[in-house]
Amino acid sequence: MRRDNKLIFEKGAKGRIGYTFPDENIPNYRIEEMIPQEQIREIPPELPECNEVEVVRHFTNLSKLNHSIDNGFYPLGSCTMKYNPKINETVAMISGFVNLHPYQPESTFQGALELMYFLQQALAEISGMDEVTLQPAAGAHGELTGMSLIRAYHDDRGDIKRNTVIVPDSAHGTNPATAAMCGYKVKEVESNENGRVNLKVLKKMLNNDIAAIMLTNPNTLGLFEDDILEIQKLAHENGTLLYYDGANMNAIMGKIRPGDMGFDVLHYNLHKTFSTPHGMGGPGSGAVGVKSKLAPYLPVPHVKKDEERFYLDYDIPKSIGKIRGYYGNFNVLIRAAAYILTMGADGLRSASEIAVLNANYLRNKIIKRFKIPFGKQCMHEFVADGSLLKKYGLKTLDFAKALLDYGIHPPTVYFPLIVHEAMMIEPTETESKETLDHFVEIVDKILEQAQSDPDKLKEVPYTTPVRRLDELKANKDLNVRYQK
């Protein structure tokens, strides 16, 4: 690929123009008429002056720098990088949706409210919950909402002694972080030798301090928590609520419902399970579903319907308040609704069935190459152990980076923490057998190379726009501002 590394600010030349403004003489198109006088700049901003083709090339080339689900396999465990059907985009571009303004009178956006109402109902049905809010903007934000609801529930009952939340040692980092942000102490429950919550240990941990247990099922090892009914019984007998991290819903749609497993509150990752584009920080949607006992605390406004119309209900006296501006990431909600409608109940069920089938197909190939420490089969993902690379002086990280040179996104690595050199592989239902077989061929090529030329693997990737990055610096010292 030929690449031009210039930033847009360094492109173009003085006086070059790529856009024609409407004729000054057309009424209502005069800048002075469109923009209030006091908001018009006196000094023009320092913007690049480019012609149209320069701008098109610049952004087209930028769009090719990153790996994406539209250009290759993306088995990033836990993140559910499934293909996002283009019909969702078509629906999201309907002008009636695109041109909505959040301050329009309610009577003029009944269609949007109907869509949100439909989505709330569909999600409640899929998860076995009673009510759903669409406000949270991401999974982690949904967790914050859900845990705030749990806190409001306990407080409202005067049960204020509960100050601790239990999370398994296999939990996603957002779980303990959320509990801590809600002011709870976090206690970790260990997994047993089968990769499930250790029931004996959990039993001992339960006391009147425990506000909630946060779980995902299947858990982050891709294994079903067989003791879930026992866990929910113990929790509820103890007055403890059960939180479901819905990131793994892709494994269970139409098969089993968190509500029926006894969970009281959950978040959905609409951008994962319900197939809206994600990555790079958003926009996403972490809608939250609750059992009716938590409904009085839901954020305002909540979309409701009476005999004649849909409306935004702000009259929820015990509400935890607003969680986000306006009504959630509406453009993501449109895509999720379009996905659910085009798939239908049967389609969603078969998506989960194929996701689990694909993961097991791949698992049976990978286990001949890498150790898979937990489970005999998996749900929608599995976690392999890359320790065998050590004998070549290599790590899981080297293996993951090597995949990039073959146009494959690496799996999630070094998570969950309870597997050494973890590689968490989630193929999703949208990949063909050929793609999965191709992946295995590439795995074999890299393993051969590990034997024959390990030093070369320490330097991979060679073909990507950037090589190995200082991930720590990117995290701790992020600076995305352009300076001349």
- Residue from 164, 170, 174, 191 binding ligand PLP (CB under 6 A): 174
In the complex, minimum distance from the CB of residue 219 to ligand PLP, in angstroms, rounded to a whole number = 9
Binding mask 282-311 for ligand PLP (x = CB under 6 A): --x-x-------------------------
Q: Give the closest residue to 135 by CA, choosing from 322, 401, 392.
A: 322
In the complex, minimum distance from the CB of residue 137 to ligand PLP, in angstroms, rounded to a whole number = 9
Regarding 259 and contact with ligand PLP (CB under 6 A), the answer is no
In the complex, minimum distance from the CB of residue 470 to ligand PLP, in angstroms, rounded to a whole number = 23
Regarding 170 and contact with ligand PLP (CB under 6 A), the answer is no
- Residue from 138, 206, 265, 356 binding ligand PLP (CB under 6 A): 138
- Residue from 220, 232, 329, 430 binding ligand PLP (CB under 6 A): 220
- Angle, in degrees to the nearest 10, between helices 174-181 and 139-156: 40
Q: Give the closest residue to 265 by CA, choosing from 161, 78, 170, 124.
A: 124
- Piece of the chain touching ligand PLP by CB under 6 A; list 9-17, 107-115, 132-140, 421-429: 132-140
In the complex, minimum distance from the CB of residue 207 to ligand PLP, in angstroms, rounded to a whole number = 26
The torsion angles phi and psi of 171, rounded to 5 degrees, stand at: -65, 155
Using CA atoms, how far residue 196 sits from 32, 217, 363, 393, in Å, is 66, 10, 19, 32
Q: Are 210 and 240 in contact (CB under 8 A)?
A: yes
Q: Produce one character per residue of 365-374: b if its CB has 16 or more CB atoms within 10 Å, e if not.
A: ebeeebebbb
- CB atoms under 10 Å from CB of 203, counted, come to 13
- Residue from 129, 140, 235, 443 binding ligand PLP (CB under 6 A): 140
Regarding 426 and contact with ligand PLP (CB under 6 A), the answer is no
Secondary element (H or E) of residue 321 = none
Report how many residues bind ligand PLP under the rule CB under 6 A: 14
Is the Cβ of residue 284 or residue 386 nearer to ligand PLP in the bound state? 284
Q: For the chain, what is the total number of helices (H) and then of strands (E)?
A: 15, 12
The residue behind tokens 């995290």 is 475
Is the Cβ of residue 267 or residue 363 nearer to ligand PLP in the bound state? 267
Q: Are 234 and 262 in contact (CB under 8 A)?
A: no
Is the Cβ of residue 238 or residue 331 nearer to ligand PLP in the bound state? 331
Q: Are 276 and 254 in contact (CB under 8 A)?
A: no
Regarding 245 and contact with ligand PLP (CB under 6 A), the answer is yes
* 288-290 and 131-133 strand pairing: antiparallel
Binding mask 84-113 for ligand PLP (x = CB under 6 A): ------------------------------
CA gyration radius, the chain: 25
Is the Cβ of residue 167 or residue 404 nearer to ligand PLP in the bound state? 167
Is the Cβ of residue 213 or residue 446 nearer to ligand PLP in the bound state? 213
Q: Give the closest residue to 445 by CA, choosing from 379, 476, 399.
A: 399
- Angle, in degrees to the nearest 10, between helices 330-366 and 433-452: 60
Is the Cβ of residue 179 or residue 247 nearer to ligand PLP in the bound state? 247
The residue behind tokens 């294994």 is 223
- Piece of the chain touching ligand PLP by CB under 6 A; list 21-29, 117-125, 133-141, 471-479: 133-141
Residues lying near ligand PLP in the complex (CB under 6 A): 78-79, 138-140, 172, 174, 216, 220, 245, 247, 269, 284, 286
